[in-house]
Amino acid sequence: MIRIKELSKEYTTKKGPVIGVNQVNLTISEGEVFGIVGYSGAGKSSLLRCINLLERPTGGSIEVNGRDLTKLKGEELRKARLKIGMIFQHFYLISQKTVAENISFALKAASTPREKMASRVVELLEMVGLTDKKDVYPAQLSGGQKQRVGIARALANNPAVLLCDEATSALDPNTTLSILRLLKKINRELNITIVLITHEMNVVKEICDRMAVMQDGRVVEEGDVYDIFSNPVTDLTKEFISSVVSFDVPQSILDACKGRLVKVLFRGDVAGEGIIADTVKQFDIKANFLHGSIEYIQEKPLGLFLMEIKGEPDDVTRAISYMEGRGAQAEVIRNGL
């Protein structure tokens, strides 16, 4: 478990002090994948680097598995850091060393006995799907393969926590997906707690269990990924989610609508039921679909629809109430013209 309490990080600049992290409180459970989302300058990278004390906080505490890292120094801190692996956006592989040597570098840092190193390297390469790249140099690898080496290196010393600093930002979409699936596989098989920062909601949607949204050094929203996608609270979170789930409809289409515009949300198993079809059959209304999609988040469906409903006002009101009674969330965003 990671417990962050009242964490602050202040930087000294020529123009004066700059607050990177401002009184952040977070609890990340053992074995979960936790995403931290924010635009550049939000403080997410500073927060991540504070977790393993690459950046020493100005105030507050960081407990990892019951130990407050801010109170550790020297050899004690070095040993604690060995149990916190880190994956970087730009890989940081040693170009003059082979894949096996890059991974061995992390093992040497932990004083792993030489007779155990070779077998551990083979084990790690098998884990990340690079058994045939053992003696290859980084320049001969694709971006995705380089990141797989970075993951193997981060896992070398059996960490309890894996920190991912924009680990997929430099990769194309297909490679990003393969890396995210690898991380999820590692999380499930090894029960490693993963904390990743990103500005891409698709990354969070793909593998995270819970998430936090940061702005100006603060956490402005936190919770289960499914809950946040289905019911975002802050404008910033809504903005991020709109990059994945959008209700954009041409204004000319909206202007042509004379009925009541209704946004309908279906959560969980309700998304698979024919509620709208049943509603149209049961009430004297006409429904015109303007936009609709079903997203799968944490393997659960989330249905989102924008529709124009025409009919007598009382019939339309009863139809909306019926959908809500069946478990949908209906929001009237414009009454009929």
Q: How far apart are CA 16 and CA 149, in angstroms?
A: 40
64 versus 259: the higher-pLDDT residue is 64
Q: Is the pTM of this model over 0.85?
A: yes
- Greatest alpha-carbon span in the chain: 81
CA angle, 124 then 127 then 129, to 5°: 110
pLDDT digits (tens, 9 = 90+) for 304-322: 888 889 888 898 889 999 9
pLDDT digits (tens, 9 = 90+) for 265-277: 888 777 656 888 8
The amino acid that residue 119 corresponds to is S
* Residues 6+ positions from 43 with CB-CB distance below 8 Å: 9, 20, 21, 22, 24, 214, 216, 217, 218
Q: Please compute the mean of the pLDDT values over residues 125-139 and round it to a whole number.
A: 93
Q: How far apart are CA 121 and CA 130, in angstroms?
A: 11
**Tokens 């309908």 found at:** 264
| Tokens linked to 289 | 């679909």
Domains of the chain by start residue, with CATH: 2-242 (3.40.50.300), 251-334 (3.30.70.260)
CB 195 within 8 A of CB 48: yes
Q: How far apart are CA 104 and CA 97, in angstroms?
A: 10
Compute the residue count for the chain.
Answer: 337
Q: What is the pLDDT of residue 24?
A: 95
Name the band, by pLDDT with cuts 50, 70 and 90, for residue 132.
very high
Output phi, psi for 53, to 5 deg.
65, 25
User: What percent of the chain clears pLDDT 70, i.e. is strictly above it?
Assistant: 98
Q: What is the pLDDT of residue 120?
A: 92
**Tokens 């009541």 found at:** 260
User: What kind and span of H or E run contains 4?
Assistant: strand 2-13
Q: Is 208 helix (H, G, I), strand (E, B) or coil?
A: coil
